[in-house]
Chains A and B, each alone.
Chain A
Amino acid sequence: MSEPMVTLEGVGKTFASRALVRTRSFALSDVDMVVNKGEIVGILGESGSGKSTVANIITRLLKHDAGTYRFKGRDVTGYSKAELMAFKSDVQIVFQDPYGSLNPRATIRNIVRESLIIHRPDLTRAQQDDRVSELMFEVGLGGQDIDRYPHEFSGGQRQRIAIARAMAVEPELLVCDEPLSSLDVSIQAQVLELFTRLIRDHDLTMVFITHDLNVARLLCDRVYVMFQGRVVESGAAREVLNNPQQEYTASLLEAVY
């Protein structure tokens, strides 16, 4: 067994009225979760099941208020400033909405370069530009004019840009919160292919949040099924999705086309 990258033990979250990210999730209670290095872990559930809250806690966009969260064995609540910055370059997130997830007032070059400005101040401007071109090529947007603004790109292209931005800091863990669900069917397949290529080429560890069980079946090694803020079933993707033990998982599977 490889070393765990993310360990959640009894993690809970109760919401105050204002959330950093707009979610319809309820509070989390008593969530245990492990993400090992090199694993693709799916978190499945309907809207309101708390799966996006888990994503936000793993990326530290939200602070959990019960239980412990250890990243590479170290409790994240005890992080120093330097450790927190290192964490933020190790863990990146890709969101569902490709329209809201890119700063509409920044060019694509600056959006992708932002990561390098923060985490690689050692690079010169020219080196940053080279790295940006390299990343754009990697996500399949090589040859595009990157001095344009997000609204000049399609939904699928924006999602590729969001992925490039996340990959710029060479994260060890990539958290994807429903990255396909607002894309068209033919574009979903393209982005899915991009993810599989990135996983293969970069030895990525990934937390993949989705309500689409068919996508989870294709991509994930292990899955957690969530319902009303709790994990109701977990295990190897093939087993959970072919032979569910819980009634809720079975009902989800039955609803899939």
Chain B
Amino acid sequence: MRGDKETTNWLNKSLMKQARQKKLSIIAVGVLSTVAVTVGYLLYLYRGQRNPNIRDVKPKSKCYVLTQDLFDKIENWQEELSKDSVMLVLPEVAHLGNHLKLQLSSIEHKIVIFNNSSAVWSAVRHLKKYELVISRDKTSDMPVDLRRYVGQISHI
């Protein structure tokens, strides 16, 4: 009887030890996975910072994508465009672009009016300004890769 009890105790201890080891293994795998994902993410961020698309961009340069909403919110376009800035006018608000070109004749070359919306995104990629200023409701129209060509996206 005693022998059976000792065997049972030994078996229980052995099973508990195995369970503990399994738990430790799971924790170790979890920790290693977390470390690997974190390192991968940091490398991804680092590569993003080194992205040649935006490497040489002046930090204060801006590209405005003009919508009615944005036009209403900014009062002094002369001041905004006097810096290293450019305005891309969406086809649906071309009349606002024409109005601004007349009003700001000395810097009218900084206002680009589009007839085709897809060409606007190509222009954002080509211009590679640091900050893209765009209405929040237009963000969903942006191609997904656009974020690689600007330093930051702002909504006014």
| A and B assemble together | no
